[in-house]
Each structure stands twice: as C-alpha cells, then as structure tokens.
Amino acid sequence: MIKDSQIDGMFTHINQQGRAKMVDVSEKKKTVREAIACGSIYMKKSTLEKIDKGEIIKGDVLSVAQVGGIMGAKKTADIIPMCHQIMMTGCDITFQLDYEKSKVDIIVTTKTIGETGIEMEALTAVSIAALTIYDMCKALDKSMVISDIRLLRKIGGKSGEINNF
C-alpha cells in the first residue's frame, strides 16, 4: 500500500494501491490549448521524387497521410493509456519535402479548449502520418526511417507556454 505522502506530487497516474489510474482533471480550469509536434521520415531520393510527382501506385501519399494523421489524433485516447478524451477544436498537418536530406518533415498543430493538454494528440498525429507514408511507400523502399518525433511548442494550462525549438 502506498501512503498519500508518497503519491502527492510524485506519481499522478498511480492510485493508493500502486496501480494505474487516470488523473482527475475536473477541478482544472478550461483554457485554450495548442500543441505543435513534428517528426520526419527518411527515404530514398527516388521514393521522395515519386511522392512529390504523385507517382506512388497506392495514390496521393501526402493526402492520405494527412487524413490518417488527423484520424490518429482523434483516436489518441483509444490507443494511449491514461489519455483523456479531448474535444479537439482543430488539427492541421503540413508536410515539407527536403530533397537535401531525402526526407519528409511532418508538422502537426492541434487545438482545444479544455482542462488538459493536447500534446499527445499532436504527437500521435505525427506518428500516424509517418506510418501512413511508410505503408504507402514500403513496396518501393523498405529502408525508410521514422525519427525525431517531438513536441515543438505547447501553450495553455498551468505550465503556460513551452518552446522546444
């Protein structure tokens, strides 16, 4: 059994019995919250060129990845334990093709008005968009690498603004 003094301020997702719990956010103030996350998928230059020219046999890779990323953001609470269901007020995904480094950069902005943050939704959207690109291009390039998924910026809530640029 864990004592209250051991839990207070230490483990927000652990109950009195030392087991997982979802944090109660009912007493928190609703604020406008925004998160920006990014990540990259590295690939062969020929794969990047085919994406850019719309020559991938499965279809428009970036359009499908955009929809997949948004769907992933909306399902975050279903796949990440202890995440709260969040009513997103917005989710936008942009892609930047970098021929010099042979990669696609994925940038996601998520927004909500609520009691808890929206960072996990932004990070999930980046991950799912990258996985969608991988899935649509894997027949051409099994050497693709998904990396550098991270939170760039967060605003709103008790901690205010955080910049990781």
Q: Name the H helices within the chain.
A: 4-7, 45-53, 61-74, 76-79, 119-137
Residues with catalytic function: 135
| pLDDT tier, 3 (very low <50, low <70, confident <90, very high otherwise) | very low
Q: How far is it, in rounded angstroms, from Cα 39 to Cα 58?
A: 22
Locate the domains of the chain by residue range: 25-163
In one-letter notation, the amino acid at residue 60 is D
Give per-residue pLDDT as tens, 40-89: 999 999 999 999 999 999 999 999 999 999 999 999 999 999 899 999 99
pLDDT above 80 for 9? no
Give pTM, 2 decimals: 0.88
125: left (phi over 0), alpha (psi -120 to 50) or beta: alpha
Alpha carbon separation from 44 to 11, 104, 130, 139, 149 (Å, rounded): 43, 11, 15, 12, 20
CB 152 within 8 A of CB 36: yes
Closest CA to 134 of 29, 55, 44, 37: 44
Domain 25-163: assigned CATH number = 3.30.70.640
